[in-house]
Structure 1
Amino acid sequence: MPASEGPALNSSTHAPQTLLAMGSAIHRTLLAKSTLQRLPRTATVDTSVLVTDYAAADPALLDAAEVLFTHWGSPVLTEESLRRMPRLRAVVHAAGSVKHHVTEAVWERGITVSSAAAANALSVAEFTLAAILFANKRVLDSAHLYRETRGRVDLLPYLDGHGNYRRTVGIVGASRTGRRVVELLRPFDFEVLVYDPYLTGSEADELGVGLVTLDELVRCSHVVSIHAPQLPETRHMFDARRLALLRDGATLINTARGSLVDTGALSAQLATGRIHAVIDVTDPEIMPAGSPLYDLPNVLLTPHVAGSLGNELDRMAHCAIDEVGRYAKGLPFLYGVGPDELARSA
């Protein structure tokens, strides 16, 4: 059975001994929101008990654990920590990427892994859709101008040539999020282009998008939205040369990872006023206080809020609890993650 299919252990339901492993802050948030109330219905678990360090945890709790329910801030699953959990069979992550805590030792032990990345993808896709529609409509620019002139501006000639009718949107990466964005764009009058080295022509046809090279996508699109994973080969995929290919007035949206864009090169392009940007992730994660990105009028800079926050955390948690329920029934995970997939995902 492929690792990504998850467990198929029993023909009848059992309540697996489950242990929470995550950061204290997100644990307090989930408890305060009563988000974890459903978990004890499918698992043997005390949701008030938390592990933040396997070396310091109660050995009896670790020894009994069959399922780890993880979230942001989960301690890393090293070979040494796994030795303390001989009965561990599954890791169910109530957030997106598992790269921060799942190591090669997990796969070597045959432990199955699930992630709520699909639930998180919807939050990012919704943010992206709003950013695309606002970018083509020049909402940020017109709001600045309206405020500066105190309403004494004729926006009709100012916005001439802008809008969402028959614009070209380029999606970089047919990831879970990228595909969600494509789905959300279908009701609109857009031409959608996609670049993804793993996407086939027949798959692009099924998605209803044009499959093009990255440079062609950048040259042709009015809005370019990045949804590729952070990998060695994707670092600075938007460098000075590629950023220069953006058409005048184009908008670059990055909700993926900051390292995919050369921050210095992007700042230089934005300083000319030639292009616009919606930047939710940066490299470094928090820009220096003197960065021009904070003040440029053609930049919407947000503090990594595109992903699940607020009540959207409930959606991820419920997705993960559903996966624990599937495990308890001996069913394969719906959102299993395998080592091959992880090597080319966020």
Structure 2
Amino acid sequence: MPPPPRPRAALAMGPAAAHGILDDDVLTALAEHTRLSPLPALDDLGTERARRILADTELLITGWDCPPLDEAVLAAAPRLRAVAHTAGSVRGHITEACWERGVEVSSAAAANALPVAEYTVAMILLSGKHVLETAREYAAARDRERLTPRPGTGNYRRRVGICSASLIGRRVIELLRPYDLEVRLYDPYITAEETAALGVRRAGLRQLFADSDVVSVHTPLLPATRGLVDRGLLAAMRQDATLINTSRGAVIDQDALTEAVSTGRIRAVLDVTEPESLPPRHPLWDCENALITPHIAGSLGNELRRLADLTVSEVARWARGEGFAHPVRRERLAFLA
């Protein structure tokens, strides 16, 4: 008996995503498992070309800037059964209409979690050694003999608080295991058994902020988490403690954070802000206790290939009838970024 025909697949994402994700090797791999529509990827699903391609598409491979898959798009794609997303969050394009139809959805969030976790671990260790402050003081003094270690410098048995057992939060915990650190976790949805399996101890939210030398925020931005890290939690932090945020800027009350950092009481490592690009005159730019990076913790450069490789693997599984290894479940959307 001949094998079943490969499913028809199409690409839907913005030009920048297509350029970063879809090199020749990736396209060849996808074509081994599907009958893949040719480039360019669809970035407007309302054009005549898009409607012609969507009419036969069973699997849509999406990326950043994919338009929403609303009722009109689904009407033009009557055979669509699955979406494999080459990035993390699917909130921007997977609509209620997709769930109502029963479209299977996969995400490369697991692949994107690793570089974010690596960035976080690096910043935790650098903050414990006071590397950034010491380097600045060393450059100013140009004299090693005049520098003495700051009080509390070092990473031995420092307490790290992880805010949220999200995919990234769990990966950070995993990567921290080789180090002599005490890791605490706040997550209102995790069970005692899950916490024990992660090898950490649970803490209440205020306790986590009050008792940790470093607090790393990995909470998805949801209506319930907007402004979660408020003035009271920031005030509870220890003198010279460090707050790391690689989630979304709006999870933190940024005005309160700016005040706390500007006084020199705490330090902050911010890969995200609210708004995403701070105004040029924002006081955080000139604050020596703040390190601000332009949302670089997630997949960049050659790390995009990890997203592509995971997606190819998901497409291959689905084409063989095995289902996705990294499915996105409708019932879990309330807890996902």
Identify the TM-score tier after normalising by the shorter chain: over 0.9
- Superposed, 1:130-141 pairs within 5 Å as 130-141=122-133
Instruction: Report the 3-state secondary structure (helix = DSSP H, G, I; strand = E; otherwise coil) of the residue aligned with 2:335.
Output: coil
For 1:43 and 1:140, how far apart are their aligned partners in 2?
49
Alignment pair present for 1:93 and 2:69: no
For 1:62 and 1:141, how far apart are their aligned partners in 2?
55
For 1:232, the equivalent position in structure 2 comes to: 223
- Superposed, 1:55-204 pairs within 5 Å as 55-58=46-49, 59-155=51-147, 157-204=148-195
For 1:154 and 1:13, how far apart are their aligned partners in 2?
74
Question: Which amino acid letter does the alignment assign opposite residue 265 of structure 1?
Answer: A
Contact 2:45 2:73 (C-alpha < 8 Å) held by counterparts: yes
Shift of 1:29: 2.6
Alignment pair present for 1:311 and 2:278: no
For 1:19, the equivalent position in structure 2 comes to: 10
Which blocks of at least 5 consecutive residues in structure 1 are unaligned? 1-10
> Pick from 275, 278, 298: which aligns with 1:287?
278
| Cα root mean square deviation, aligned | 1.5
For 1:269, the equivalent position in structure 2 comes to: 260
Question: Which amino acid letter does the alignment assign opposite residue 14 of structure 2?
Answer: G
Shift of 1:298: 1.1
Contact 2:88 2:109 (C-alpha < 8 Å) held by counterparts: yes
For 1:301, the equivalent position in structure 2 comes to: 292
With 115-124 and 36-45 compared, the bigger mean Cα shift is at 36-45
Question: Which amino acid letter does the alignment assign opposite residue 134 of structure 1?
Answer: L
Contact 2:69 2:94 (C-alpha < 8 Å) held by counterparts: yes
For 2:14 and 2:284, how far apart are their aligned partners in 1?
30
User: What CA deviation, in whole Å up to 9, does each residue of 1:219-255 have, x standing for no partner?
Assistant: 0100000111111110111111111011001000000
> Pick from 236, 241, 245: which aligns with 1:250?
241
Shift of 1:14: 4.2
Question: Which amino acid letter does the alignment assign opposite residue 273 of structure 1?
Answer: G
What TM-score, normalized to structure 2? 0.96
Shift of 1:72: 0.6
Shift of 1:158: 2.8
Contact 1:240 1:266 (C-alpha < 8 Å) held by counterparts: yes
For the structure 1 residues 206 and 103, does the alpha-carbon distance in structure 2 shift closer, same or farther, using more than 3 Å as the test?
same
Instruction: Report the 3-state secondary structure (helix = DSSP H, G, I; strand = E; otherwise coil) of the residue aligned with 2:35.
Output: coil
Which blocks of at least 5 consecutive residues in structure 2 are unaligned? none
Contact 1:145 1:153 (C-alpha < 8 Å) held by counterparts: no
Contact 2:37 2:53 (C-alpha < 8 Å) held by counterparts: no
Contact 2:11 2:61 (C-alpha < 8 Å) held by counterparts: yes
For 2:57 and 2:128, how far apart are their aligned partners in 1?
51
Shift of 1:47: 4.7
What TM-score, normalized to structure 1? 0.94
Shift of 1:37: 3.1
Instruction: Report the 3-state secondary structure (helix = DSSP H, G, I; strand = E; otherwise coil) of the residue aligned with 1:311.
Output: helix
For 2:312 and 2:4, how far apart are their aligned partners in 1?
15
For 1:203 and 1:330, how far apart are their aligned partners in 2?
31
Instruction: Report the 3-state secondary structure (helix = DSSP H, G, I; strand = E; otherwise coil) of the residue aligned with 1:234.
Output: coil
Shift of 1:306: 0.4
For 1:231 and 1:30, how far apart are their aligned partners in 2?
28
For the structure 1 residues 187 and 79, does the alpha-carbon distance in structure 2 shift closer, same or farther, using more than 3 Å as the test?
same
With 41-50 and 253-262 compared, the bigger mean Cα shift is at 41-50
Shift of 1:304: 0.4
Count how many residue pairs are aligned between Structure 1 and Structure 2.
335
Contact 2:8 2:37 (C-alpha < 8 Å) held by counterparts: no
For the structure 1 residues 100 and 151, does the alpha-carbon distance in structure 2 shift closer, same or farther, using more than 3 Å as the test?
farther
Contact 1:13 1:330 (C-alpha < 8 Å) held by counterparts: no
User: What CA deviation, in whole Å up to 9, does each residue of 1:269-300 have, x standing for no partner?
Assistant: 10000100100011111110011221211111
For the structure 1 residues 207 and 31, does the alpha-carbon distance in structure 2 shift closer, same or farther, using more than 3 Å as the test?
closer
User: What CA deviation, in whole Å up to 9, does each residue of 1:40-90 have, x standing for no partner?
Assistant: 111111452311111114222010111110011111111111111000000
- Superposed, 1:314-329 pairs within 5 Å as 314-329=305-320
Shift of 1:154: 4.0
For 1:190 and 1:175, how far apart are their aligned partners in 2?
20
For 1:33 and 1:332, how far apart are their aligned partners in 2?
25
Shift of 1:164: 0.5
